[in-house]
Amino acid sequence: MQEPDATLPANRAAHVQDDGDGIAILKIHRRRQMIDADVLDVVGQSVGLVAARFEGLVIVLDGAEDPIGLDIASLLLASNLAAWWAADSLIETGQRTFRALETAPFPTVAAVLGEAVGGACELALHCAAIQAAPDAKLGLSQVEAGLIPFWGGSTALAGRALAGGGSGGDPIPGLADILNTIATARICQSAAEARALRLLGPNDGVSDHRDQVLADAKRLARDLARDYAPPADPALALPGEVGLSHLIEIIEENRPDGPLAAADPVVLTELAVVLTGGDVTSGSLIPIDDLRRLERGATNFLIQRPETQDRLARMVARDLAPETEG
């Protein structure tokens, strides 16, 4: 590994390095590349630094067999201690950090060499582009922990569904597809499958081989930097109460024996509220920050439920089991 530059952000979880070609590289060295507060700190610091010193930023995501991709142990500890402020702080910090990536004055590219699941996938979705290996695995798996994607992932996919249009301009079928993708914790097994499920967009790249991803991601960042402007603050025209009733019907029809049987219906209802904008008139333009507040509120509610706490505890125990058996 290249010797770290003391002027670049670094801690025990992640670091930024300068390869001398104008593109900063952020690498995560948490076990299985789990996204936690330390990783978020380096990502947040990198935004101001890259704007001053580099053309763009590539974030390397090479997780392996991490079912959630985020720090569920800290969430479990917060719930066990009823330290709801600590859970909310992690939620808010992630949302703010990923929003800073999204609105940065330089291009950010997620280089997905292996897995980008859960929180790592949310990080990738907030980059200007993704460059993926052909066998990259992406997915939003937070429902397995009794949660919804809370760092902007639910909102990002809702925006992609609307951008993709629908039958006669009806947003509900696309939002129903997003509901199904998140509710089943579906992990795409290839970049082609990820594109079909909107986890990769039309402007994202797929390398021929895994060992080409980083170089391709740098090239993509450099190309984007030539005339880059961050996206304008979006507002989504969501179906509100009308769409929510449709998604609730879909949830009820697919339980208890359908494809959503394994998911907690309370979690799915909270997800449906976020995807449709909740208690608003159909077609209302909802600022993206308002939708993220819905994500945050839903997650703060869910994490206080015993059912979610039980799921978190089982996942943490399963995660630790291989190490204790050794």
Is the pLDDT assigned to residue 84 strictly greater than 50? yes
The pTM score is: 0.92
In this prediction, residues 24-30 reach a mean pLDDT of: 91
Architecture (CATH level 2) of domain 14-325: Alpha-Beta Complex (3.90)
Distance CA 301, CA 121 (A): 23
The pLDDT of residue 325 is: 42
Q: Among residues of the chain, what percentage have pLDDT more than 90?
A: 72
The pLDDT of residue 213 is: 97
167 Cβ neighbours under 8 A, 6+ residues apart? 173
The token pair that represents 28 in the structure block: 């995560």
Distance CA 41, CA 33 (A): 14
Number of Cβ atoms within 10 Å of the Cβ of 11: 13
Of the listed ranges 65-69, 107-111, 148-152, the one predicted with least confidence:
65-69
* pLDDT tens-digit readout, 161-184: 998 765 567 899 999 999 999 999
* pLDDT tens-digit readout, 277-294: 988 998 889 999 999 999
Is the pLDDT assigned to residue 141 strictly greater than 50? yes
In this prediction, residues 289-304 reach a mean pLDDT of: 95
String of DSSP letters for 150-201: TTTHHHHHHHHHHHT--GGG-SHHHHHHHHHHHHTT---SSHHHHHHTTSS-
**Under 8 Å between Cβ of 89 and 110:** no
Distance CA 205, CA 248 (A): 35
Per-residue pLDDT band at 18 (split at 50, 70, 90): very high
Give the pairing of strands 137-139 and 129-132.
unpaired
The pLDDT of residue 254 is: 80
Give the domain ranges of the chain: 14-325
* pLDDT tens-digit readout, 223-235: 999 999 998 878 9
